[in-house]
Structure formats: structure tokens, C-alpha cells
Amino acid sequence: MKIALLAPSLAAHDAVGTDVLEMAAALRRAGHEVRLYADHSQGVIESVHAPATLERWLGPRDLAIYHYSIGWPRVEAQLAALNCRRVLRYHNVTPPEFFQGWSREHVRSCAAGRASLASLAAAGFDLALACSAYNLAELVQAGLPPERGRVLAPFHRCEALLDQAADGALLDRYGDGRRNVLMLGRVAPNKGHAALFDAFACYSRHYAGDARLLVVGKHDRRLARYSRHLRERCAALGIADQVHFLDNIDDARLKACWLVADALLMLSEHEGFCVPLVEAMALGVPVVARDRTAIGETLGRAGLLWQESDPRLYAASLARLVRDADAAETLRLAGRARYREHFAPRVLAAQLHTALADFA
């Protein structure tokens, strides 16, 4: 079977791009002929085709899988007219209110993306593959017939990260015996940085005065004012020297960050899945997280998960992981077990093939 995977843009190392590329690899291993379609691509070594050529390649028994995380009206209209089977892959769209006061462009694009959910849910896709039950509930609320929805966690690069050699310079810099708290995710207003800094400041003040917070994530030039605000907030809290922003790092430096991390602290306010939690589980890094949107669903019982917002609670949780080695090891083991059972590539590939079995 020919299968087209579509996304407005493909970047080799972001969550959506990784899901597309690893899904393509899994489908090819199963014997399908797969092509990628996008308007733009970055860091993708295989051919990426123009969506305008889609109709000439796909036949009635073939399949188009549309990865949706932002609106793509031109191609959505094209998809509706295709004479083939169609699957909607829903990654979630960040609610626009998170960007109010920071970026009008993000407000417009996110509002348009959220507004399109109802039309997509009712567009007659043969199947919808949501990255989480949280995402699937959004689609059903928007009008998707529940029997057409399935949950499939996103494909990832954890196995490659496990095999990746770590950057020696970064290991030397941060592997000096001081406590390192890690936050991984793009620098955007929905990621909960204000709560993150409040919790870390409390942890530093009461438990570990020389601790560091490694904030690993890509800065968006369109959110430059938000990035400046974060640095100003760190200065106001007296933690500017302890917070290290690591922007757009390569795999070797990312692996080093995981190796020196004592814990992942995830206080994001909106996640459609949250791949960094899976990376933490795979690499055996204990997690302290706030139960928002899909975070609790992804993490399960493999971390310290709280619904409260009190920074003192998160500071105390971090301190417990340092004080109680047995508790930290229990979380590491639980995370690795959850990764093997729910998120290992062979598990995701099997679930994908089962979901697409009716199209064979």
C-alpha cells in the first residue's frame, strides 16, 4: 500500500517531525511504500514532496495520514477531495490565550488551528489517531464519531538517544557534584516557566543553595519578549546565576543534560502528550510534575505527580529525591518499566499496524 504522510512543515528534531519520520520508518519496515509531503522541511535527509503532487501518486486503495498541529487550509481542502482513504493524526493545538500579550502571530495561528477542529472532526476521515486520550476527547467534543478514534502515543527518538554518546564538555561543566534540575521543552508561554522558576527558587532557598536549573529548549524569535521576561523573572527571584538556558542543542549535548540531571521538573500548563516525560522514563531520570492536560496520562505512576500549584510542594519533592535514594531508584525503575510497556518503538509500531489493519 502507498501511504502519504503530510504535515505543513517537517523539522527532524521537533515532536511532530519526529513522529512523522519515525512513523514513516515503521510503515516501511512493514512493507508499505511511504512518501513525505510538506511545504517546508529542515534537517530531513529523505525526499519531501510538494502537496500539489499528491493526487498523482495516491490511488483509491492507498492512504493519506495528515499530522495536524496547526491549520493548513489549502491542503485540508485538497485532502477532502482525494480519492483515497484518510487518517487524521492529532497532536493538539495550543490554546491561543497562552500567547495573549506575547505574540499576535501565535494568537492568530493557534486560534485558527483550534477553530478548524470542528470541521476536521466532521470531515469524514476514516480514522483519527490521537496522541493521547486527552487529545481524543477534544476531537470527540469537536464532533468526531467516537468509534473512529484511537489513541496512539507519538513515535520518538529515545532509542537513538540511549545509544548517543554524550558531549564531554557539557558533562565536565555540569557533572561537578552540584544538583541539576532539568526542564525540557520549547520556550513558550504554555510551558509553565513562571511556576518552574518559583519552585526552583524555593528549592534553592531551602534545600540546595548551589543547585542549577537547566532549561533546555528552542527559543522562538517571535517570542523574544517572552524570553526576555523569563530572564528578568529569574533575576527578580535571585536565581539568575543558577538558571542556564540551553537553546537548540544537538543530540550529544542533550544526552549529557540527561546524564547530569538529578530530576526532570515538568510544570507545563498545556501538553497534548509531553515527549520529555518519555525520554526521562527511558533514561532513568526521576520526574516531578504537575498534573495538567495530558501529563498525568503520559507519566502514569512513574513519577511524583501533583495537582497543586504550591512551589513549596515541588521543592520538597525534589529534595526528597535527593534525600531518599530508595525513592529515587523506585521511580527510575517504574519509569523504565512504563517505557518498555507503553512507549518502546516495537509497542508503538504494533499499535500503529493494528490501528491500520482495516486498510490492508
Cα–Cα distance between 352 and 87 in angstroms, integer? 12
Domains 2-155 and 158-342 share a fold: yes
Q: Is 15 exposed, middle or buried (0-12, 13-18, 19+ CB in 10 A)?
A: buried
Cα–Cα distance between 95 and 88 in angstroms, integer? 19
Instruction: State phi, psi for 28 to the nearest 5 degrees.
Output: -65, -40
Per-domain residue ranges of the chain? 2-155, 158-342
Q: How much is the pLDDT for 248? A: 81
Write out the three cell numbers for 117.
477542529
Which residues, including other chains, have CB under 8 Å from residue 198's CB and lie 6 or more apart?
237, 311
Instruction: Give, for all 360 residues of the chain, the pLDDT tens digit.
Output: 999 999 999 998 899 999 999 999 999 999 999 999 999 999 999 999 999 999 999 999 999 999 999 889 999 999 998 999 999 999 999 999 999 999 999 999 999 999 999 999 999 999 999 999 999 999 999 999 999 999 999 999 999 999 999 999 999 999 999 999 999 999 999 999 999 999 999 999 999 999 999 999 999 999 999 999 999 999 999 999 999 999 989 999 999 999 999 999 999 999 999 999 999 999 999 999 999 999 999 999 999 999 999 999 999 999 999 899 999 999 999 999 999 999 999 999 999 999 999 887
Helix axis angle for 275-283 and 325-338, nearest 10°, is: 110
CA nearest neighbour of 285 among 132, 181, 156, 160: 181
H or E stretch at 355: helix 345-355
User: Residue 316 carries which side chain, given as an amino acid letter?
Assistant: A
Write out the three cell numbers for 77.
481542502
Q: How much is the pLDDT for 13? A: 85
CATH code for the domain defined by 158-342:
3.40.50.2000
Confirm if 156 and 18 have CB atoms less than 8 A apart.
yes
Q: How much is the pLDDT for 71? A: 85
User: Residue 274 carries which side chain, given as an amino acid letter?
Assistant: C
Query: If you write DSSP's letter for every residue of 142-191 in order, what string do you get?
Result: HT--GGGEEE-PPP--HHHHHHPPPPHHHHHHH-SSS-EEEEES-B-GGG
Q: What is the DSSP letter of 303?
A: S
Q: How much is the pLDDT for 39? A: 95
CA nearest neighbour of 7 among 79, 107, 111: 79
CATH code for the domain defined by 2-155:
3.40.50.2000
For the entire predicted model, the pTM comes to 0.96
